[in-house]
Amino acid sequence: MTTQSPRPIKGPSERANHRLLALCGGIGGIAGLSTAIVVLRQTPGGDARPDLWSSPLPLWFGILMALIWGVVVPVISWRWHHVVDEHERQAYRDGAVASFYTVGLGVPVWWFLWRGGALPPVRIEWVYFAMMAVGGLVWLYRKYA
């Protein structure tokens, strides 16, 4: 009688994939939390309340975050592209294409509607969220469906 282990054994590539995804998630969480702490510790003038999206940041912190997002995360992403299998790579590409179309078509539509008075000005954080959400949903669907 053979018994199967409750979980299949993961290969080194899959373990590396999961480590890199966890590392990126951890970096994102730390970046978000530290940004919130830096912004909330500032005392705005008058009746103004701190805004997590648009309050000024100290120069040192802005440079640090730019280096993390512009250097560290791309290095991790480059490594991730070398450890994933072809199925996940294709799922990621499909998500990236969907994200491209979300921004490439959505922003001009929004911009024209703003110029026509139907919408507020384009907000970069909304564009970024839509891009990441669409890419992530397509990636999840293509990977697991």
All structural domains of the chain with their residue ranges:
13-84, 85-145
pLDDT at 14: 81
pLDDT of residue 41: 85
pLDDT band at 1 (very low <50, low <70, confident <90, very high): low
The DSSP result for the chain, as a single string, is -----SSPPPPHHHHHHHHHHHHHHHHHHHHHHHHHHHHHHS--STT----TTTS---HHHHHHHHHIIIIIHHHHHHHHHHHS-HHHHHHHHHHHHHHHHHHHHHHHHHHHHHHTTSSPPP-HHHHHHHHHHHHHHHHHHHHH-
pLDDT in tens, 9-22: 677 778 888 888 89
Residue-level pLDDT at 83? 86
